[in-house]
Amino acid sequence: MPTTRSTRTLTTEAAQAARQWYVADADGEVLGRLATRIAHVLRGKHNPGFSPHLDAGDFVVVVNAEKIRLTGNKLTQKQYIRHSGYPGGINRATAAEVLAKKPTRVVYEAVVGMLPKNRLGRRLATKLKVYAGPDHPHVAQKPLPL
């Protein structure tokens, strides 16, 4: 009579996940390449206990967002579009205009666009902190370089 073996899959509970803090310096980095690395860490894919339905990711602090690099003609051709919900309430701005006015929005939208479009993605987005300059208020968490 053959013996049967039961295998167990180890899953990480969201409450058990030890959160780590990382700091990413955007000075001279290409926007898309930096955003993919950040989304990877926010999602928790770098952890061995990754589960696609759990929030097992870490916190990421991005500094120097105003010094991010966009390749090609993206500064003049890429458009950021918002709508107020009212007729005629559409607002368009090029990447150069957005970088001049609110540079954190460029990095934030690039990363959030790479996260899931559901409750989990919205929760993961709260762990992303973006700052235009080199200073950030999360020194007490002792963030590691990304």
Say if 78 falls within a structural domain.
no
Say if 16 falls within a structural domain.
no
User: Tens digits of per-residue pLDDT, 72-131?
Assistant: 999 999 999 999 999 999 999 999 999 999 999 999 999 999 999 999 999 999 999 999
pTM above 0.85, yes or no: yes
Task: Determine the pLDDT at residue 122.
Answer: 96
Say if 9 falls within a structural domain.
no
Say if 107 falls within a structural domain.
yes
Between helices 103-112 and 31-43, what is the axis angle to 10°? 50
Domain range enclosing 118: 21-70+102-145
Kindly report the backbone phi and psi dihedral angles of residue 90, in degrees, each rounded to the nearest multiple of 5, phi listed first.
-90, 140
Listed residue (64, 47, 40) closest to 124, CA to CA: 40
110 SS3 class: helix
CA distances from 10 to 49, 51, 124, 144 (A): 8, 10, 22, 27
Say if 80 falls within a structural domain.
no
118 SS3 class: coil
Would you place residue 12 in the very low, low, confident or very high pLDDT band (cuts 50, 70, 90)?
low
Say if 28 falls within a structural domain.
yes
Distance CA 137, CA 22 (A): 13
